[in-house]
């Protein structure tokens, strides 16, 4: 058993729902108890969908368990077919139905429906939402496109037609990413055949083989299907996810190679590189950033942060265990160790220890950052309703890079404002507790740090309580004079100064930090 207060991913059948809801003319019959319909509201409320998800639940109850839940399931499938007349159906079990061991696939087969019925095996006690989505998409692609596979060994020449694979319902900015990537591709002269699963029908999936190659937007969801298409249809696929300026350029070069076309030059609408080079952005240099999310977005964000905004990446992690290897490799490139966990308390502890100046994460990191008083921007699912915005807001491609710049810089103190705060920090209107002027009046008090579960303890001077380097050997204490001097350092670099000084002291076996230690450390680290 695992104690969980908060989960980054839902169960795998929610992943299957994301595929079914993304598509048209598919209906999913889920053998599930009363109550599992809660998942509907993720789609109708968070994504604000105007129609119910195409999912029928058997909603068996305790009194049904002694009787014939299998018959209940068959009736549900038959009625759903009659009512919705889909082109294809998905059948499967949720976690509880998995335990009662009715066989949805076998039961549905006995009904002899005149459409393909795809059984899903989603091990709920082992796997999670993204895996469920990937598996469901793969099974559907196999079922629909499989009959049209060319004979093994058929050669495929480079061509200009592609599919876009991966966008789903409840995907973080999937709607706008498609528009952006489609624009990139069409500007190069590449034709988009099928976008799937979002907006596709089963008949569209049957046509996947007509394309020359596949563009994989979200490897977590489309990776498995794309590699099957590669084996069965000989379709190559893209490996770069076009998030950020550099990645978008590499993506375009990759597509150009696959399509046998010249690589395009940068779009005039690409404002991000100039914004980042302009002098107002100088203050962004070396800002310490902590990044957590799904593997694709976290890896891409780290690249953008380091290379395109000149931040220092001080933490990188993911809850996607399936992609742990990729994230560890990416972290290595930034000289740090990756954090692969689905326990938000671990993430919170890592953020507190790294003392970043900016957190890029999911809605969970947004709440952690709020508790710790650190600016934050959202880069990955899971997200609340505000991250399904009405405005066009992609993460990918050219406009995506512009959006990333605005979104990540916005929560930070603006350059001039930061400067004024330093100059006038003793002024009553410009004090340490002042929040960025554009983020409302709430002062960010000293960070309340802890394990996230402790009762509100009497307020302890927070940074000292958590400074990770103070634990080795004898505790290091601060002399009154040095402590006073530390307070004169602008608050946004004070944490770094404190940490560096303590590290400096620890390395030299200094027990009490004096004014001299503080300035020795400053000189030591000023490189």
Partner 1 sequence: MSLAAAEPAAVAGCVTRPVLRERGQHEVFCGLTGIVWLHRKIQDAFFLVVGSRTCAHLLQSAAGVMIFAEPRFATAIIDERDLAGLADCNDELDRVVARLIERRPDIRMLFLVGSCPSEVIKLDLSRAAQRLSRRFMPKVRVLSYSGSGIETTFTQGEDACLASLVPEMPAEPGTARSLLVVGALAEVVEDQMIRHFAALGVGPVRFLPGRRAAELPAIGPGTRILLAQPFLGDTLRALESRGAKRIAAPFPLGVEGTSAWLRAAAVEWGCPEARIAEALAAGEARGRAALARHREALAGKSIFFFPDSQLEIPLARFLSRELGMQLTEVGTPYLHREIMAEEVALLPDSVRLSEGQDVDRQLDRCRAAAPDLTVCGLGLANPLEAEGMATKWSIELVFTPIQGYEQAGDLAGLFARPLDRRARLEL
Extract the tokens encoding 486.
């530390």
User: Which residue, 234 or 375, is less far from partner 1 as judged by CB?
Assistant: 375
Is position 157 an interface residue for partner 1 (rule: CB under 8 A)? no
When binding is defined by CB under 8 A, the residue of 126, 154, 278, 459 that contacts partner 1 is 126
CB of 111 vs partner 1, minimal distance in Å: 13
Per CB under 8 A, contacts with partner 1 among 33-52 are 33-42, 44-45, 48-52
Residue 149, CB-side half-sphere exposure with 13 Å CA sphere: 18
Question: Does 27 engage in binding with partner 1 (CB under 8 A)?
Answer: no
Q: Are 498 and 462 in contact (CB under 8 A)?
A: no
Among 23, 26, 76, 505, binds partner 1 (CB under 8 A): 76
CB of 472 to partner 1, least distance (A): 25
72 is in an annotated binding site: no
- Give me 41's structure tokens: 């509201």
Contact by Cβ (8 Å): 376, 43? no
442 vs 434: CA distance, rounded Å? 8
Quick check: 217 and 225 in contact, CB under 8 A?
Answer: no
d(CA 323, CA 153): 30
Counting contacts by CB under 8 A, is residue 85 touching partner 1?
Answer: no
Q: What is the C-alpha separation between 226 and 213, in angstroms, rounded?
A: 10
> Given 68, 266, 280, 427, which residue is catalytic?
280
- Smaller CB separation from partner 1, 47 or 180: 47
Q: Which part of the chain contacts partner 1 (CB under 8 A), choosing from 64-72, 176-184, 215-223, 252-260?
A: 64-72
| Dihedral sign (CA 430, 432, 433, 434) | positive
Helix (H) or strand (E) segment spanning residue 167 = none
Per CB under 8 A, 455 contacts partner 1: yes
Closest CA to 411 of 492, 348, 351, 346: 492
CB of 363 to partner 1, least distance (A): 9
Residue with tokens 């002024």: 427
State the nearest-atom distance from the C-beta of 203 to partner 1, in Å.
25
Does 79 sit near partner 1 (CB under 8 A)?
A: yes
Write the interaction track for partner 1 spanning residues 329-368; mark x where CB under 8 A is met and - where it is not.
-----------------------------------x--x-
Nearest to 171 by CA among 17, 7, 364, 308: 17
Query: Does the annotation flag 495 for ligand binding?
Result: no
Q: In angstroms, how far is CA 198 from the centroid of its own chain?
A: 18
66 is in an annotated binding site: no
Q: How many angstroms separate the CA atoms of 166 and 218, rounded?
A: 5
CB 523 within 8 A of CB 486: no
- 280 annotated active-site: yes
Cα–Cα distance between 328 and 331 in angstroms, integer? Answer: 5
CB of 73 to partner 1, least distance (A): 10
Q: How far is the CB of 128 from partner 1 (least distance, A)?
A: 7
Select the residue interacting with partner 1 from 15, 22, 56, 102 (CB under 8 A): 56
Q: Per-residue x/- marks for partner 1, 470-489, CB under 8 A?
A: --------------------
Binding of partner 1 at residue 110 (CB under 8 A)?
Answer: no
Check: CB of residue 235 under 8 Å from CB of residue 213. Answer: yes
204: Cβ–Cβ under 8 A, 6 or more apart, which residues? 194, 196
Which region, judged by CB under 8 A, interacts with partner 1, from 1-9, 201-209, 264-272, 438-446?
1-9
Distance of CA 460 to the CA centre of its chain: 34
62 binds partner 1 (CB under 8 A): yes
Question: What are the binding residues for substrate?
Answer: 415-416
Q: What is the contact surface with partner 1 in residues (CB under 8 A)?
A: 1-7, 9-11, 13-14, 33-42, 44-45, 48-52, 56-62, 64-65, 72, 75-76, 79, 83, 94-96, 99-100, 123-126, 128, 364, 367, 371, 384, 451-456
Catalytically active residues are 280
Question: What are the binding residues?
Answer: 36, 415-416
């Amino acid at each position: 058993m695992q104690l969980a207060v908060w989960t980054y991913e839902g169960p795998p059948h929610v992943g299957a729902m994301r595929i079914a809801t993304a598509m048209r003319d598919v209906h999913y019959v889920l053998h599930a108890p009363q109550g599992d319909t809660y998942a509907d509201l993720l789609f109708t409320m968070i994504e604000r969908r105007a129609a119910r998800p195409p999912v029928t639940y058997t909603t068996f109850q305790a009194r049904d368990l002694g009787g014939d839940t299998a018959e209940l399931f068959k009736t549900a499938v038959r009625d759903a077919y009659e009512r919705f007349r889909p082109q294809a159906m998905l059948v499967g079990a949720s976690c509880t139905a998995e335990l009662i061991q009715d066989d949805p696939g076998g039961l549905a087969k006995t009904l002899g429906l005149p459409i393909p019925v795809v059984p899903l095996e989603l091990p709920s006690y082992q796997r999670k939402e993204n895996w469920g989505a990937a598996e469901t998409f793969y099974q559907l692609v196999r079922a629909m496109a499989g009959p049209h596979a060319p004979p093994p060994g058929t050669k495929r020449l480079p061509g200009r037609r592609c599919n876009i694979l991966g966008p789903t319902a409840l995907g973080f900015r999937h709607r706008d990413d498609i528009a952006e990537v489609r624009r990139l591709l069409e500007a190069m002269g590449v034709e988009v055949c099928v976008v799937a699963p979002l907006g596709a029908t089963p008949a569209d999936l049957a046509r996947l083989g007509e394309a020359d190659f596949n563009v994989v937007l979200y490897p977590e969801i489309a990776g498995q299907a794309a590699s099957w298409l590669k084996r069965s249809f000989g379709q190559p696929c893209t490996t770069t996810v076009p998030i950020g300026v550099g990645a978008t350029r590499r993506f375009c070069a990759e597509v150009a190679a696959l399509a046998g076309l010249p690589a395009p030059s940068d779009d005039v609408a690409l404002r991000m590189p100039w914004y980042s080079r302009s002098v107002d952005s100088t203050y962004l240099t070396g800002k310490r950033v902590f990044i957590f999310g799904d593997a694709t977005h976290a890896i891409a964000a780290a690249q953008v942060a380091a290379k395109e905004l000149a931040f220092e990446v001080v933490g990188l992690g993911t809850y996607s265990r399936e992609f742990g290897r990729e994230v560890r490799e990416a972290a290595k490139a930034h000289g740090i160790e990756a954090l692969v966990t689905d326990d938000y308390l671990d993430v919170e502890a890592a953020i507190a220890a790294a003392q970043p100046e900016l957190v890029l994460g999911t809605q969970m990191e947004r709440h952690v950052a709020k508790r710790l008083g650190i600016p934050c921007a959202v880069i990955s699912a899971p997200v609340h309703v505000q991250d399904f915005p009405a405005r066009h807001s992609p993460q990918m491609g050219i406009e995506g890079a512009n959006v990333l710049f605005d979104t990540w810089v916005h929560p930070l103190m603006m350059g001039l404002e930061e400067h004024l705060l330093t100059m006038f920090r003793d002024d009553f209107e410009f004090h340490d507790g002042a929040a960025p002027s554009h983020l409302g009046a709430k002062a960010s008090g000293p960070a309340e740090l802890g394990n996230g579960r402790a009762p509100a303890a009497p307020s302890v001077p927070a940074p000292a309580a958590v400074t990770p380097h103070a634990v080795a050997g004898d505790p290091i204490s601060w002399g009154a004079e040095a402590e006073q001097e530390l307070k004169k350092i602008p608050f946004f670099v004070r944490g770094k100064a404190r940490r560096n000084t303590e590290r400096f002291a620890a390395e030299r076996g200094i027990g009490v930090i004096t004014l001299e230690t503080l300035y020795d450390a400053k000189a030591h680290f000023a490189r």
